[in-house]
Amino acid sequence: MLEEIKKLRSKIDADLQAISSAEEAEAFRLKHLVRKGTIATLFERMREVANEEKRLVGKELNQLRAFAQSGFDEAQIKTEQKSKEPIQDPTLPPRKLYHGHEHPIMQAKARIQEIFIRMGFTVATGPDIEDDYHNFEALNFSPDHPARDMQDTFFVKHGDRDDLVLRTHTSPVQIRLMKSQKPPIRAIMPGRVYRNEAITARALAEFYQVEGLYVDKGVTMAQLKGTLFEFARAYYGKDIKFRFRPSFFPFTEPSAEMDITCFLCDGKGCRVCKYSGWLEILGCGMVHPNVLRNCDIDPEVYSGYAFGMGIERTQMLAIGLDDIRLFYENDVRFLSQF
Ligand code: DAH
């Protein structure tokens, strides 16, 4: 009898280990713990046990029953928890999945690129750390031009070179292109630029620009106007009007700034356009003969136009945003709106 109890105990132990579902736990109960189960059957055979052994066998049997019962209880709790986990309340709406997306400035950059690529422009890039020659000198800045001042420019020290700067605009990429390619050249040049400026609602020390350049025989200001107007219509909408205002840049002659009618107030005047009805969107002009000459392009044979715009500003105007810092505060509540 004691031998049989031992055998049954190892059988029950093995059965308990094997339980992995509520159904299996129930099968275990029906096999071992009910009135006609294995343990009860052994209890019934107590009658055959010799009197002097009854105490010991009874004790062993009781222990076996307690072992089976507590093992079953434990298995039941475990399997119940398991079966509860996947579905708590099938009527609950599913949790929302949040997907990341491109930063609004990268979206704007992609859109600007796409519009110009459709008009036949290629995309070129240049280094963020420039030398004085490409950033200023070759672009016809005079040696004492105020933009070269410490107030505006971040200088970079590297070894014994003292002519390195973080580029203050994307215009130096024009120089690199004209020095490495022969006309016709028709490219846009997006990239990061750096200025030693206090960060305010309207200015950052680090931002993005897109430069444009077209050099060929017979390039005219009328083509510049037509191209930029096409761009503005594609970016801001078909109904905008634009104007060119005379301006000055060392690397273009003549130079202009382009304004579009404020689409927020339809030109009537509002806070965003400072009650003028116009929004300035970019600087542009005909490439200065000195700049062409610096790149070994004969200004008697070739002419070109150039333009440059800030991407953050372009995007701010498109969405009616009045604080440029929002783009870089990484607040998902803001960024997820785009
Ligand atoms: N580089 C100028 C700036 O940072 C923008 C600009 C103006 C670029 C006129 C041009 C241009 O190519 O023709 O303010």
Domain ranges of the chain: 2-84, 104-127+168-335
The Cα 195–Cα 200 span in angstroms is 13
Predicted pLDDT of residue 150: 66
CB 251 within 8 A of CB 287: yes
81: exposed, middle or buried (C-beta count within 10 Å: 0-12, 13-18, 19+)?
exposed
Residue whose Cα lies nearest atom 12 of ligand 1: it is: 307
Tokens read off for 17: 């280990």
Q: How far is the CA of 268 from the centre of ligand 1 (A)?
A: 28
Residue 285 alpha carbon, nearest atom of ligand 1: 13
- The preferred substitution site among 284, 291, 312, 313 for testing ligand 1, maximizing ligand atoms within 8 Å of CB, is 284
As a residue count, the chain comes to 338
Predicted pLDDT of residue 171: 97
Residue 115 has a CB neighbour count (10 Å cut-off) of 17
Q: How far is the CA of 187 from the centre of ligand 1 (A)?
A: 14
Q: How far is the CA of 135 from the centre of ligand 1 (A)?
A: 12
The Cα 34–Cα 28 span in angstroms is 10
The answer for residues whose C-beta is within 8 angstroms of residue 276's C-beta and 6 or more apart is 262, 269
Predicted pLDDT of residue 318: 85
Predicted pLDDT of residue 147: 76
Q: Decide if domain 104-127+168-335 falls under CATH 1.10.150.20.
A: no
Residue for token pair 């930029």: 228
The Cα 4–Cα 28 span in angstroms is 19
Closest CA to 241 of 249, 253, 233: 233
Predicted pLDDT of residue 83: 64
Task: List per-residue pLDDT tens for the chain, 338 residues long.
Answer: 889 999 999 999 999 999 988 888 999 999 999 999 999 998 898 888 888 888 899 899 899 999 999 999 998 888 877 766 667 778 888 888 888 899 999 999 999 999 999 999 999 999 999 999 999 999 999 988 887 776 689 999 999 999 999 999 999 999 999 999 999 999 999 999 999 999 998 889 999 999 999 999 999 999 999 999 999 999 988 888 999 999 999 999 999 999 998 877 888 988 778 899 998 999 999 999 999 999 999 999 999 999 999 999 999 988 888 899 999 999 999 999 98
The Cα 68–Cα 39 span in angstroms is 9
Q: How far is the CA of 277 from the centre of ligand 1 (A)?
A: 23
Predicted pLDDT of residue 46: 87
The Cα 281–Cα 47 span in angstroms is 104
The Cα 335–Cα 272 span in angstroms is 21
Show the ligand 1 pocket: residues with CB < 6 angstroms. 169, 171, 211, 249, 252, 283-285, 306-308
The Cα 110–Cα 125 span in angstroms is 14
